[in-house]
Structure 1
């Protein structure tokens, strides 16, 4: 062995020992998925590997806004570290850390104050004197996500190129650990959100009627399918009057809130509560809808959200039906004797827009035996199949006509099956809600007897 090789051997042995220690310490960094713990471990490991008095880690602020791109002191260890824990920020390119983040290259400062890139504001803030510094970028897939710094060698020495090499190896491991910890945190947040959404969906489904109250002479059914976990469609069956006194009626309600998801679901439940509370007082359908609209308009203000509604009241024996249309698509009335459809239209705007709007009662004088009333939301006829074609109201009418001999529940299932066949596996992009009211054959004849 030559003299120069002998002289180099202790340095190589020391470097090998440092690298071995570096890899051992790097395992500590990757053992946790808790972001705050990962960040602390990164800097503790770096201080031990480089023998530094102090260390700090700055992360790039990636959130949209005025602070985007700034470096934020996230972890600080060592003397005077308490003054840097409050989110002290550096502008893009500011100081040594800013330069490292911008250039994605490490920096070694033997004398920090002799380098024009060094920002003395941090020393002035903390009262700590920086002598030497090793600063490396934290890069992940070509993108700098932060900067790590080790400050002042213990015992008064200075950092070396070997220190930079070791620090860079740690930084590469640290960047992956940070990204993994962030992904883990995002997954936990999503998992919690999914759980909350599942819970909200369960609550919302529990608010929908399981069955219609019995009323002689009519058969009623409904169904609602949300395209998200929660939706903004609504239907309900609300009994009124006294069955023993022969004054019993049934209110069938269907509604559609703008948009879908959690906000729409909350508005839907609000309208449901308003309607049920209003039914404790007497009044015609137009009075009921008008009072609910006033309450909703006060709550909604200028939010831009609103809800369409169709409310129909039908009495024993289906001799007469009264309805109010609040911006909702007209209901369909099908007479199987003539095979004709009639749209139950009427004047009215959606709920929540104008508190002073006066709604109108509309009357269907008498339902024919076997007549079918279909109340639906636009998620049915605006659904698009694989070719981009809409399902449309004509196809809905054909499906109703084919299934008119079924009971109300069977007719509703037949329409939904026809819609599913049309979609051919394409996802629904809006909520689907359907209410079917069918007059019993000879319903009006008992009244005439």
Structure 2
């Protein structure tokens, strides 16, 4: 706020009136001058309040940061009754750029701009070279040099004041205000006003960056939703009708996009063409379950790649072990570069002979409940992870299934599920729960629901799980 001196009293009385009693009347000029001074101070105070209020309104209303920054040098000079202002911003690569400039007298604009740009070039040239994409923060020494260079190039006849624009305790620029009036002084009040404008500038910059991050997040969320929708469509929409078999399946991902995979694949081209008329029930069907190491988008992409390659390989009519071997060789280069691997259990069921042919690539072995013996056995073969070793060999095995037998394929989301103490549900608890379900539940869907409920009760988490959880229940009927 500009300090206005009191008007000086005249040394000689100049305009007096005579009272009725003949004496001299008191001079009332100082009273009028004092009233005018108070009125002027009030007008200036209201002007400053109006300007700052307008700046606050712009901060709330403008969606474009550039529009707001355009006001900053103007407002800073207006609230301090100075000749102009300049806004300099520090870029992530360390460069200093003159962002906005305002001069009350446009004749000085070119001269002031040249001085500011010369100062910024000299400071930028003294900074170390930064590689593309890297960021650098100006050190206090560089900022002090910048102040010195700006003052030097503007000249000694310019009254200059500069303050920092701090965003999250990091200096992101400088706001300079200047005057060519030799009587102009940077009072404490004027300095506070400049700092107030600088603070609002920092808020605008931070709000803009938060808005950009929010838009990025919204765009990523939308892409994840699309990815999750595509992945969900790639999983079987319903269990197929296979002669003498009843199925139930569910995949519950920890994130919107997961790395678990299961599939039911007709074992021949003829079956794929005959799915609509129901004749595929009598043909062989592949039942597969897999798990990509990790979660989220990378695991989901690899899962999608695995699905496509496996479906193409199944139609070649090789044995389960040969199918896994070919799949491993094809996927090895891509998985090696990604440092991710896939566990996969692949099986083919022949409804005519009720025989299950299978091979395992280091996946959790399925559990088979044999009704005739009231016992559970694990279906497993030797074999390494898909993508770990290009020359890995896999083994074939088979098992005869009978009416009443029930088989579960599952991922490690079940056995690795942990309670509040960190104890895992593990395979032993899953086996006990499966055994109870086979004795008390009547359909594969009931068994599936019971096993999911048991895991949720163990972990205490109903709506969320730490890892993807997938389960297939296959039951042989008469």
Structure 1 residues 421 and 36: alpha-carbon distance in aligned structure 2, compared to 1, 3 A threshold: farther
Q: Note if 1:119 corresponds to 2:149.
A: yes
Aligned CA RMSD, in angstroms, stands at 3.5
Matched, 1:323 2:358: yes
- Please report how far the alpha carbon of residue 225 of structure 1 lies from its aligned counterpart in structure 2 after TM superposition: 0.5
Q: Which runs of 5+ in 1 are unaligned?
A: 62-66, 100-114, 442-449
Contact 1:43 1:57 survives alignment (8 Å): no
How many angstroms does 1:359 deviate by?
1.9
Change (3 A) 1:211 1:245: closer
**Does the alignment pair 1:94 with 2:141?**
yes
How many aligned residue pairs are there? 411
Q: 2:99 aligns with which of 60, 70, 75?
A: 75
- Deviation for aligned residue 1:296: 1.1
Task: State the TM-score, normalized to the length of structure 1.
Answer: 0.80
1:212 corresponds to: 239
Q: Relative to 1, partners in 2 of residues 1:191 and 1:159: Cα closer, same or farther, differing over 3 Å?
A: farther
Post-superposition CA distance 1:358-387 (Å, at most 9, x none):
2221222x1132111111111111111233
Indicate if the aligned counterparts of 1:326 and 1:349 stay in contact, CA closer than 8 A.
Answer: yes
Q: Give the Cα separation in 1 of the matches to 2:448 and 2:50.
A: 70
State how far apart, in whole Å, the 2-side matches of 1:281 and 1:184 are. 52
1:301-349 CA distances to partner (integer Å, 9 max, x unpaired)?
3321111111111111452111111111111111123221111121111
Aligned to 1:399: 433
Once the two structures are superposed, the pairs formed by residues 175-214 of structure 1 within 5 Å of their partners are 175-214=202-241
Measured in 2, the distance between the counterparts of 1:433 and 1:323 equals: 19
CA contact (8 A) 2:159 2:182 kept: no
State the SS of the aligned residue for 1:356. Answer: coil
Match of 2:450 among 386, 409, 414: 414
CA–CA distance in structure 1, aligned partners of residues 68 and 61 of structure 2: 8
TM-score, structure 2 normalization: 0.75
Is the Cα–Cα contact under 8 Å of residues 151 and 160 in structure 2 kept in the other structure? no
Q: Which moved more, 1:77-86 or 1:377-386?
A: 77-86
* Distance in 1 separating the partners of 2:252 and 2:342: 17
Larger Rg: 2
Match of 2:51 among 7, 17, 22: 22
SS in 2 for 1:169: helix
Q: Which residue of structure 1 aligns with residue 252 of structure 2?
A: 225
The answer as to whether partners of 1:294 and 1:352 remain within 8 angstroms in 2 is yes
Structure 2 residue runs without a partner (length 5+): 9-32, 103-109, 128-136, 272-278
Query: Are 1:57 and 2:122 an aligned pair?
Result: no
Indicate if the aligned counterparts of 1:332 and 1:374 stay in contact, CA closer than 8 A.
Answer: yes
SS in 2 for 1:352: coil
Distance in 2 (CA, whole Å) between partners of 1:56 and 1:122 is 17
Q: 2:424 aligns with which of 387, 390, 394?
A: 390
